[in-house]
């Protein structure tokens, strides 16, 4: 499951690079510049999935699916009995969820810092999953 999570996160990061380089987020869309972050982010993500450019729609959809997947990976790792693998998997899941929140912030405010934080959190999650996989291989 951890290897599958690593591969999906890598695919997500690749699609994210395409979005970053080739998709322009309009300054005016449902959820843009919200006064309430969570409500605005919800509307931004719904807009991205339903009406965004194809790469953005795939990136947002896979991001939502990844939230469910990383929670499942963390839960499964916690049942394995290895505290280190469980801790790394839980941390990786939290980092992926954090990356998702920064993705929503990017949709909301179109700030480059949100994109940078999203990428850095993703890299940190990949490092955690890689370490967990290494521990499992022993």
Q: Which residue has the tokens 């899941």?
A: 93
Residue 88: CB partners within 8 Å, gap ≥ 6? 77, 128, 129, 131, 132, 135
> Is 32 inside any structural domain?
no
Q: Is 30 helix (H, G, I), strand (E, B) or coil?
A: coil
> Is 88 inside any structural domain?
yes
Question: Which range marks the domain in which residue 93 is found?
Answer: 2-21+57-137
pTM beyond cutoff 0.85: yes
> Is 46 inside any structural domain?
no
Each of the 138 residues of the chain gets a pLDDT tens digit; together they read: 999 999 999 999 999 999 999 999 999 999 999 999 999 999 999 999 999 999 999 999 999 999 999 999 999 999 988 999 999 999 999 999 999 999 999 999 999 999 999 999 999 999 999 999 999 998
Distance CA 9, CA 100 (A): 12
> Is 30 inside any structural domain?
no
> Is 82 inside any structural domain?
yes
Domain count, the chain: 1
> Is 127 inside any structural domain?
yes
> Is 49 inside any structural domain?
no
> Is 119 inside any structural domain?
yes
Distance CA 48, CA 130 (A): 30
């Amino acid at each position: 499951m951890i290897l599958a999570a690593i591969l999906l996160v890598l695919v997500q990061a690749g699609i994210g690079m395409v979005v970053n380089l080739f998709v322009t987020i309009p300054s005016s869309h449902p959820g843009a510049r919200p006064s309430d972050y969570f409500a605005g982010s919800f509307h931004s993500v719904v807009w991205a999935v339903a009406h965004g450019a194809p790469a953005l729609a795939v990136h947002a959809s896979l991001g939502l699916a990844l939230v469910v997947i990383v929670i499942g990976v963390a839960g499964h790792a916690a049942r394995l009995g290895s505290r280190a693998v469980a801790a790394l998997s839980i941390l990786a899941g939290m980092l992926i969820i954090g990356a998702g929140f920064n993705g929503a912030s990017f949709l909301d405010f179109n700030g480059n810092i949100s994109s940078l934080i999203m990428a850095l959190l993703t890299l940190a999650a990949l490092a955690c999953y890689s370490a967990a996989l290494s521990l499992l291989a022993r």
